[in-house]
Amino acid sequence: MPDNPISQSGQSLLFLTDEQLRKGIEAMFFAYRGFTADPDRILADMEYGRAHHRAIHFIHRSPGTTVNNLLSILGVTKQSLNRVLRTLIEDGLVESRVGKQDKRERHLHLTEKGAQLERSLSDAQRDRMRAAYRAAGPVAVAGFRQVLEAMMDQDLRRSYDTLKDRGA
Amino acid sequence: MPDNPISQSGQSLLFLTDEQLRKGIEAMFFAYRGFTADPDRILADMEYGRAHHRAIHFIHRSPGTTVNNLLSILGVTKQSLNRVLRTLIEDGLVESRVGKQDKRERHLHLTEKGAQLERSLSDAQRDRMRAAYRAAGPVAVAGFRQVLEAMMDQDLRRSYDTLKDRGA
DNA sequence: GAGGATAAGTCAGCCTTGTTGACATTCCAA
DNA sequence: TTGGAATGTCAACAAGGCTGACTTATCCTC
């Protein structure tokens, strides 16, 4: 029975059919649009974009993080990040402090103004996430997290876990 | 007990804390990077990008779809889509056929060459999705889909359901 | 049949955000 | 003291979004 999606052990593998996988792929595509929609709307009114949101999020998450650390989390070139950081610093949302041990490093912090924007962005994003979590329930949420974690590249998984542990 | 994340009904709502929501947000961010990584690698060697991938995916998914329909699914302007479609048609990956009932419409189909690229892209993406699904198991996968569907905007949810039903 | 609505395509120009490459500065460590 | 690491900057470029204006062809309705 070569077409029967049942494993040798007798466990159903229907969730691994190409059709199911394609549905998962499309779900990721459409859901990610929703995921970014609310912050994008807020940022569209300002002179900022999604790249600024990401920088602000992770600076808020890890105050005092270095540029290099941020670079590896965001996965962009230092030139791209620098352009974003420069505008955030110029506009007084982010503060760059020379390192004490290592003066080559710059430690990044949100100013009060930056923290305000961070709050309005993450409030909007959390509201949607909360509604989705509430609609789906705790069991679904656990599964959601499991699948997403299994989908990450190894190095990103490490970044994710580091961030995860720190706040736990 | 204002700080106790337990609902009045007695059911635990620990999964709705800001901390849990933030973890979900970061999981989406990192997982989406993995989600697009494999097709991106394939496309980087060619003159195409993620926008071409999306067009190819949905033309494959709904052969004969019109430009307007594709537009609403992808959520971009016709100018953006047109730029992508033009190159795909010029390169012989997509065929544009004048509508029979309504001659204003163009119905889009993948050529054999286009179908080949679609296969190599979706194979790569499915491989990762399959590994994630397998690692997480069927219960987690059901939850994953539930949360993603609850995260979509209403109009995208409708597009998603339409695509979902057609293939089922 | 005329006129408005619709589908598609195109041109021009702009923005964000990514890329490479080259180069300067600063500072730590061998 | 010298090499390498971390940071920053400049220039140039590309993908892929966007708006606005416009044309062409077709359809539908009055």
The reply to whether A137 falls in a domain is no
Q: What Å distances lie between residue B150 and A108, A124, B134, CA to CA?
A: 35, 15, 23
Residue A23 approaches strand C within 7 Å at CB: no
Does B12 contact A138 at a Cβ distance shorter than 8 Å?
yes
Residues of A in contact with B134 (CB under 8 A): 16
How do residues B39-74 score in pLDDT, each as one tens digit?
999 998 888 999 999 999 999 999 999 999 999 999
Structural domain range at position B126: 18-136
Q: What is the pLDDT of residue A7?
A: 45
Residue found under tokens 């955030």: A88
Please state, in angstroms and rounded to a whole number, the distance separating the CA atoms of residues B121 and B125: 6
Residue B36 inside a domain? The answer is yes
The answer to whether A159 touches A73, Cβ cutoff 8 Å, is yes
Q: Tens of pLDDT along B106-141?
A: 999 999 999 999 999 999 999 999 999 999 999 999
Summarize pLDDT for A41-62 with one digit per residue, the tens. Answer: 999 888 899 999 999 999 999 9
From the list A12, A34, A168, which residue is nearest B151 (CB)?
A34
pLDDT for B65-77, tens place per residue?
999 999 999 999 9
Chain A residues whose CB is inside 8 A of the B20 CB are: 133, 141
Instruction: Judge whether B1 lies within some domain.
Output: no
In a domain, B147, yes or no: no
Which residues, 6 or more positions from A91, have their beta carbon under 8 angstroms from its beta carbon?
Answer: A113
Interchain CB distance below 8 Å, A144 and B147: yes
Whether residues A126 and B21 touch (CB distance < 8 A) is answered with yes
CB B167 within 8 A of CB B159: no
Residue A112 in tokens? 């009060």
> Do the Cβ atoms of B108 and A7 come closer than 8 Å?
no
Question: Do the domain assignments include residue B25?
Answer: yes
> Is the CB of residue A84 inside 7 Å of nucleic acid strand C?
yes
Q: How far is the CA of B102 from the C1' of D26 (A)?
A: 8
Listed ranges A100-104, A160-164, B115-119; the one with the highest mean pLDDT: B115-119
Tell me the mean pLDDT in the region B3-26: 75
* Domain total of chain B: 1
* Residues whose CB is less than 8 angstroms from the CB of residue B94 and which lie 6 or more positions away in sequence, other chains included: B55, B56, B59, B85, B88, B108, B109, B110, B111, B114
Q: What pLDDT does A10 receive? A: 46
**A130-140: pLDDT as tens digits:** 999 999 999 99
Chain B's closest residue to A14, CA to CA, is: B138
Protein CA at B155 to nucleotide C1' at C8, angstroms: 23
- What's the ipTM? 0.90
User: Quick one: pLDDT band at residue B11, thresholds 50, 70, 90?
Assistant: low
Q: Does the residue A98 lie in any domain?
A: yes
Q: Could you tell me the CATH number of the domain that includes residue B36?
A: 1.10.10.10
Are A22 and B167 within 8 A, CB to CB? yes
| B111 within domain boundaries | yes
Does the residue A158 lie in any domain? Answer: no
A147 chain-B contacts, CB cut-off 8 A = 31, 132-133, 136, 140-141, 143-144
Instruction: Give the number of A-B residue pairs with CB atoms closer than 8 Å.
Output: 206
> Does residue A168 register a pLDDT over 70?
no
